[in-house]
Amino acid sequence: MQDEVKKDQQSTDSEWSLPESIIDGVLFRETKNIITGNGTTSEGYREDWNLHSDPIKQIIQVTLRPGAISAWHMHRLQKDHVFVILGTFKLAMYDGRPQSPTYQKLEVRNLSNLRPGALVIPPGIWHGFKNLSHQESIFINYFDRAYQYSDPDEYRLPPDTTEIPFTF
């Protein structure tokens, strides 16, 4: 049994701040839920957050069934801007950029509407999501480049690839 025991890594500090990304170029801007008389409101993006300098060209909504995995995925040109609007996801990111100072680093985060935030994933970062909720979970993804139907900037590996040292 002792061989199976693993000590937790630090996930926050005494101010309950979330850790900075360990992958170069990945940005996270935590927001807050505002409790209203009939629910909650939270901001998903503001230009003055300076998460990027490019205009937003397209927004999609992604829904995953309970326990579903969407992995692995990467863009060579566009940035992903992810904001969870319902549920909880495990997000794994792997730096596949040979020129990056964080090349081959792996980062795993839990993202949820309970502690909202906007996450920017730069080109060249492999990423995948798993829905940790017992219901459908939803995130929106806004892009600095519109989807090119005739020449998609979409590259994929299977969820069980041996190219990335992570299993969902």
User: pLDDT tens for residues 14-71?
Assistant: 877 777 888 998 988 888 888 888 877 788 888 888 877 788 889 999 999 999 999 9
CATH topology of domain 61-147: Jelly Rolls (2.60.120)
Task: Write down the domain spans for the chain.
Answer: 61-147
Burial code (b: 16+ CB inside 10 Å, e: under 16) for 13-51 equals: eeeeeeeebebbbbbbbebeeeeeeeeeebebbeeeeeb
* Rounded distance between C-alpha atoms, residue 104 and residue 95, angstroms: 5
Task: State pLDDT tens for residues 101-134.
Answer: 999 999 999 999 999 999 999 999 999 999 999 9
Task: State pLDDT tens for residues 130-155.
Answer: 999 999 999 999 998 999 999 999 99
CA angle 12, 102, 146 (to 5 degrees): 90
Query: Are the CB atoms for 165 and 96 separated by under 8 Å?
Result: no
pLDDT at 21: 86
